Amino acid sequence: MDKLALENRILMSVDKPARYIGHEVNAVYKDPEGRIRFCMCFPDIYEIGMSHLGIQILYDMLNSFDDVWCERVYSVWTDLHKIMKDEHIPLFALESQEPVRSFDFLGITLQYEMCYTNILQILDLSGIPIYSRDRSDDDPIVICGGPCTYNPEPVADFFDLVYIGEGETSYRELLDLYKECRGQGFDRKSFIRKAASIPGIYAPSCYEPEYNPDGTIKDFVPLYEDVPEKIEKQVVSELSDTYYPLKPVVPYIKATQDRVVLEIQRGCIRGCRFCQAGSVYRPLRERDEKTLERFAREMIKNTGYEEISLSSLSSSDYRELGKLCDFLIREFKDEHINISLPSLRVDAFSLDVMSAVQDIRKSVVTFAPEAGSQRMRNVINKGLTKDDILNGCLQAFLGGWTRVKLYFMLGLPYETEEDMEGIAELSNEIAKLYYDTIPKEERQCKVSIVSSTSFFVPKPFTPFQWAKMDTMDEFRYKAHVVNEAMRRQLNYKSIRYNWHAADVSVLEGVMARGDRRLSSVIYRAYENGALFDAWTETFSMEPWELAFSRCGIDPKFYYNRERPFDEVLPWDFIDTGVSKDFLIRECKNAEKAAVTPNCREKCSGCGAAKYTGGVCYES
């Protein structure tokens, strides 16, 4: 094994040293001479980053290019963070164990707003200037991608480039431009400006926002004539013919998702009005079932995993789901491979599929009604009736399930106290259904209903992007209403109620719809000690409150304010294919609690047909 960046005394003093040594199964090693060095980063701990399919796809794609060597880096946990700061040890890539600062590119995926201070940890420990404007030609080009780039403005000042859309499309053109510029005598600013003309590439330094006296955005304009006013989201039209990691890197230690992942489709037909992913990943595109069969065989052979997970936003909508599951059961029955089916809807077909692939005695059936009343489910366009939910639970109980998880949201637009109490009443009805349906002599145990509420966070490119978000006190009051309503239910002892932390949700709401002025807050919060804000054991609101105060920024401006339809939003320069007219129309439908059909029932003219593929063109 090559020399490690960390001495044995350090590795033996930190939690899970295997996070930092590399040399895992299927990791890629190349001669760096003459190659573009690309360091791919997931800004959270190794176990979470190794579970992320997007990183595995890009790692596989970039290493398929002969002239590129892509390596990986993850956030270091707090114990090693302190040692590296105290002993001035630079952050290093896993494969070569060489400093990240020596690479040509550092690519960071933005999956969750609460990882923003971890971005600064990566830059800080690498010795790369935090702000893009302070970097020299000797520093890597820092680029980001992922779902949070649909509003990159809170972190825009930290990045040289932002990749908007699906990563399989424009990286080759970007890397070729880099080689050309490097061959001509590299100049950082010239490269960034030229890169801004590549489809899907946003260069924050080439644009400047102007503000009104009330703090809203007056205009957002390019600084140069040769950069586009709008950045168009990049989309893979045909999923079956694109890159896929058939030899994913297998960690030495257990990852959060320790299994083969088959992405069966991308996008969603459902149109839930709170869901950003269902909007920005339009249109729905399916992978060919025969292609997935081949992927499954090769990935099991190349990894030794004992479980396959089918990944999508709504697996029940994959038209070949039954056929694919039949194949997986048949193909791997002698190898005792488990099949995992997340994101299923509440219907008899889904339960039949689940019962075929799962050990019912060990499994939990999970439903996401999202709201307790039918009116609220119509407001959010969930497309589920109370009968659908109860019939689904009934089929689950008759099929042998005794544990049910239910996911709801609090703080949705147009919500009333009656809607909140409906969460408890629906939970009780499901418990009652079990006791009314399953004879006492056939019950192996009492039913277990676990109802969880998260707090609604309005996200860009959804019909609720203009909505006012609740304060922490309002969220806590609403959780209290539900909790008290739970206690009044006849079957209370069979129900457990959990709710999300209000302060984390509010901070997420600030970052989700913020603008460039928040970069100073994020930087100040990191200096104050904020790190791993997505983790309950490390999150503290105090560094953030102090940062907002020192920067003179009121967070309520960003989360606790309803926006008019004509306000310039920080992300308006991005074209996702889904038109603002459609989002406004859906926002008005929400106020009327009017249901919009899903994409296979009827086209609603959202605009995604411009990509000339997927569900928009199904025969």
Greatest Cα pair distance in the chain: 81
Say what the pLDDT of residue 199 is.
97
Q: 96-110 b/e with 16+ CB inside 10 Å = b?
A: bbbbbbbbbbbbbbb
| H helix intervals, 399-468 | 417-437
210: tokens are 């102007």
Per-residue model confidence (pLDDT) at position 35: 97
Does the reported pTM lie above 0.75?
yes
- Distance between CA atoms of 354 and 336, rounded to whole angstroms? 16
Q: Which of 6-15, 50-59, 337-346 has the lowest mean pLDDT?
A: 337-346
Question: What distance in Å separates the CA atoms of residue 479 and residue 256, rounded to the nearest whole number?
Answer: 28
Burial of 366 (0-12, 13-18, 19+ CB in 10 A): middle
| Phi, psi (degrees; rounded to nearest 5) at 42 | -110, 115
* pLDDT per residue as tens digits for the range 263-273: 999 999 999 99
Measuring CA to CA, which residue among 259, 193, 234 is closest to residue 51? 259
pLDDT at 343 over 90: no
Asked if pLDDT for residue 557 goes beyond 80, the answer is yes
Among 518, 389, 503, 421, which residue's Cα sits nearest to residue 455? 503
Q: Which residues pair with 449 in a beta bridge?
A: 404, 495
> Each residue of 463-517: pLDDT tens digit?
999 999 999 999 999 999 999 999 999 999 999 999 999 999 999 999 999 999 9
Fill in the amino acid letter for 493: K
Residue keyed to tokens 């960390």: 6
Which of 36-45, 343-352, 381-390 is least confident?
343-352
Residue 181 has pLDDT above 90, yes or no: yes
- Average pLDDT along the chain: 95
pLDDT of residue 357: 75
pLDDT at 72 over 80: yes
Which amino acid appears at position 63 of this protein?
N
Residue found under tokens 């497309």: 383
- How many CB atoms are located within 10 Å of the residue 51 CB? 18
Mean pLDDT of 534-557: 97
The enclosing H or E element of 545 equals helix 542-551
Q: What is the pLDDT of residue 400?
A: 87
Query: Which residues, in sequence order, are CB contacts of 475 under 8 Å at separation 6+?
Result: 410, 411, 455, 502, 505, 506
DSSP conformation class of 234: B
Mean predicted confidence (pLDDT) in 20-34: 97
367 vs 116 pLDDT, higher one: 116
The whole-number pLDDT of residue 359 equals 63
Q: Tell me, what's the pLDDT at 1?
A: 47
Mean local confidence (pLDDT), 303-324: 94
Task: For residues 439 and 437, give the distance between their C-alpha atoms in angstroms, rounded to a whole number.
Answer: 6
| Residue whose tokens read 């800004």 | 43
> Any idea which residue has 């499901």 for tokens?
430
Percent pLDDT > 70 in the chain is 98
Predicted pLDDT at 362: 55
CA dist 370 and 412 (Å) reads 10
Question: Which of 15-19, 301-305, 338-342 has the least mean pLDDT?
Answer: 338-342
- Residue 350: its pLDDT value, please? 74
In angstroms, the first-to-last Cα distance of the chain is 54
pLDDT at residue 348 is higher than 70 = no
Instruction: Of 278, 288, 600, 614, give the one whose Cα is nearest residue 462.
Output: 278
Task: Evaluate the omega torsion of the peptide bond into residue 147 and state whether it is cis, within 30 degrees of 0.
Answer: no
- CA 326-283-611 angle, to 5 degrees, is 125
Helix/strand/coil (H/E/C) assignment for every residue in 210-245: EECCCCCEEEEEECCCCCCCCEECECCCCHHHCCCC
Rounded-to-10 torsion of CA 547, 550, 551, 557: 70
The answer on pLDDT for 205 being more than 60 is yes
Mean pLDDT on 554-561: 98
What is the per-residue pLDDT for 347? 72
User: Are 603 and 618 within 8 A, CB to CB?
Assistant: no
Region at 570 (left for phi over 0; alpha for psi -120 to 50; beta for the rest): alpha
Task: Round to whole Å and give the CA distance between 267 and 279.
Answer: 8
What are the tokens at 609? 């047909």
Give the integer Cα–Cα distance in Å for 206 and 190. Answer: 11
Whether 301 and 337 have beta carbons less than 8 Å apart is answered as no
Query: In degrees rounded to 5, what are phi and psi of residue 208?
Result: -145, 130
Q: Give every CB contact of residue 601 below 8 A, 6+ residues apart in sequence.
A: none
Q: For 517-531, what is the mean pLDDT? A: 98
Q: How far apart are CA 443 and CA 445, in angstroms?
A: 5
Instruction: Compute the distance between CA of residue 5 and CA of residue 14 in angstroms, rounded to an integer.
Output: 14
The string of pLDDT tens digits covering residues 238-293 is 999 999 999 999 999 999 989 999 999 999 999 999 999 999 999 999 999 999 99
How many angstroms separate the CA atoms of 376 and 374, rounded? 5
- Rounded to an integer, the average pLDDT of 45-57 is 97
Residue 90 has pLDDT above 80, yes or no: yes
Element (H, E) at 219: strand 217-222
Report how far residue 360's alpha carbon sits from residue 364's, in angstroms, rounded to the nearest whole number. Answer: 8
Q: Are strands 265-266 and 285-286 parallel, antiparallel or unpaired?
A: antiparallel
Cβ burial of 301 (10 Å; 0-12, 13-18, 19+) is exposed
Q: Residues, the chain, total?
A: 619
